[in-house]
């Protein structure tokens, strides 16, 4: 997130100014209240991140400034992550597609972390269900039929998300990991594949969210951390030359988790999970973190994320294309 002037070398679709972020959040709160009869609950994370956006906007206007010793990364990071979510929510609303997800909208007041790039100490049901909503919203712009299993009264005959695209009914079994145990990944993968198998989906992916296991500090380090922790210096935040460096870090992390899963459980055992199943021979992964990018107008605090893939065997072209369309929605390219 940044404010004007915007650096010419960065695609405007990758930027959200502080003032624009505040406006988007206000729009969404009004939409929730007016059209879905949902008010932001006092003490909720939704209220907290909305207040953060107001505080950030106040800093931009010169109305106070944070304590120079305060680590501003958590506030800026979750604000950026929430705005990415809000854009998807507002787009679905403007296209007349958000009302179908009304039961999940009520969970916004219950989640411990509404932003999909913020770590929480353990899985909470409301947070997990919001990830399902996030995945559904990534499909909505190019699918007229997206079905979310009801968060409270699931029938058990669907994966978490069903989406019809180009004549194929896709099923996504959404899993939020809380640790890096390769045994746990194997178990969640098996659960998700079975979930898709007994559903009406033609094919699909198990869809992991890595928000709770990513090293977010590596993506946005404090370069003088030791001196800062000793209160000898104010924090100096690292900034990368371009976001591809952080995307490469995320890809490296994904590859390590997938390699560990194979080594611990045995490559033949992992392959057998997919054999005879209608799912694609691999799993999708949403990875997002906050960082700072060096630009011609100064450091740019932003969210960097993408949908990655852990391939067991070659993924059929329609699988690559489906996740590509979802990535394009996330990046504002579709």
Q: Tell me the per-residue pLDDT of 65-85, one tens digit each, with 9 for 90 and over.
A: 889 999 999 988 888 889 889
Lowest mean pLDDT among 55-69, 88-102, 161-175, 189-203: 55-69
Among 149-163, 205-219, 255-269, which stretch is predicted with the lowest mean pLDDT? Answer: 149-163
- Better-predicted residue by pLDDT, 3 or 119: 119
Q: Indicate the pLDDT class of residue 2, thresholds 50, 70 and 90.
A: very low
Helices (H), 95-181: 102-105, 125-139
Contact assessment for residue 36 and residue 108, using Cβ atoms and an 8 Å cutoff: no
Answer yes or no: pTM beyond 0.85: yes
Dihedral (Cα; 146, 39, 30, 2), 10-degree rounding:
-90
**Diameter over CA atoms, the chain:** 61
Tens digits of residue pLDDT in 216-245: 999 999 999 999 999 999 999 999 998 899
Q: How confident is the model at residue 64 (pLDDT cuts 50, 70, 90)?
A: confident
| 178: exposed, middle or buried (Cβ count in 10 Å: 0-12, 13-18, 19+) | middle
Task: Quote the pLDDT of residue 1.
Answer: 45
- Residues 161 and 143: their CA atoms lie apart, in Å, by 12
Tokens read off for 283: 């799993």
pLDDT at 288 over 70: yes
Helix ranges (H only) for 41-179 are: 45-60, 73-94, 102-105, 125-139
Name the residue among 88, 77, 80, 92 with its Cα closest to residue 22: 80
pLDDT of residue 267: 97
Q: What angle do CA 70, 119, 128 make, to 5 degrees?
A: 145
> Which of 113, 165, 159, 120 is closest to 138 using CA atoms?
165
Distance separating alpha carbons of residues 266 and 269, to the nearest angstrom = 5
pLDDT band at 120; cut points 50, 70, 90: confident
Q: What is the pLDDT of residue 157?
A: 55
Write down the mean pLDDT value for the chain.
91
Asked if 186 contacts 266 with a C-beta cutoff of 8 angstroms, the reply is: no
Alpha-helical (H) ranges within 267-306 are: 267-274
Radius of gyration of the chain (CA): 20
The tokens for 89 are 């929510």
Q: 163-200, pLDDT tens digit by residue?
A: 999 999 999 999 999 999 999 999 999 999 999 999 99
Residue 4, pLDDT > 50, answer: no
At residue 34, the 3 state secondary structure works out as helix
């Amino acid at each position: 997130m940044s404010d004007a002037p915007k650096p010419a070398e960065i695609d405007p679709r990758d930027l959200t100014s502080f003032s624009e972020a505040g406006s988007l959040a206000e729009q969404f709160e009004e939409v929730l209240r007016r059209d879905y009869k949902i008010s932001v609950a006092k003490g909720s994370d939704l209220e907290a991140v909305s207040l953060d956006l107001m505080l950030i906007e106040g800093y931009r206007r010169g109305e106070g400034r944070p304590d120079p010793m305060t680590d501003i990364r958590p506030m800026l990071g979750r604000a950026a992550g929430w705005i990415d979510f809000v854009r998807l929510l507002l787009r679905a609303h403007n296209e007349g597609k958000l009302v179908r997800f009304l039961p999940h909208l009520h969970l916004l007041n219950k989640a411990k972390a509404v932003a999909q790039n913020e770590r929480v100490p353990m899985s909470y049901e409301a947070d997990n269900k919001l990830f399902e909503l996030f995945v559904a919203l990534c499909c909505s712009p190019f699918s007229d039929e997206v079905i979310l299993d009801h968060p409270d009264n699931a029938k058990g005959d669907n994966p978490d998300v069903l989406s019809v695209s180009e004549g194929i009914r896709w099923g996504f079994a959404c899993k939020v990991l809380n640790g890096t145990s390769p045994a746990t990944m194997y178990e969640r993968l098996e659960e998700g594949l079975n979930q898709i198998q007994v559903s009406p989906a033609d094919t699909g992916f198990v869809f992991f969210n890595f928000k709770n296991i990513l090293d977010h500090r590596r993506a946005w380090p404090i370069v003088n951390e030791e001196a800062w922790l000793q209160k000898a210096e104010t924090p100096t935040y690292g900034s990368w030359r371009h976001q591809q460096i952080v995307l490469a870090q995320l890809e490296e992390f994904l590859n390590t988790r997938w390699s560990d899963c194979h080594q611990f459980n045995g490559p033949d055992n992992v392959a057998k999970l997919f054999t005879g199943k209608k799912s694609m021979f691999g799993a999708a992964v949403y990875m997002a973190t906050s960082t700072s990018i060096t630009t011609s107008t100064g450091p740019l605090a932003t969210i960097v994320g993408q949908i990655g893939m852990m391939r067991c065997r070659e993924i059929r072209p329609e699988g690559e294309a489906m996740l590509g369309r979802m990535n394009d929605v996330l990046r504002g390219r579709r």
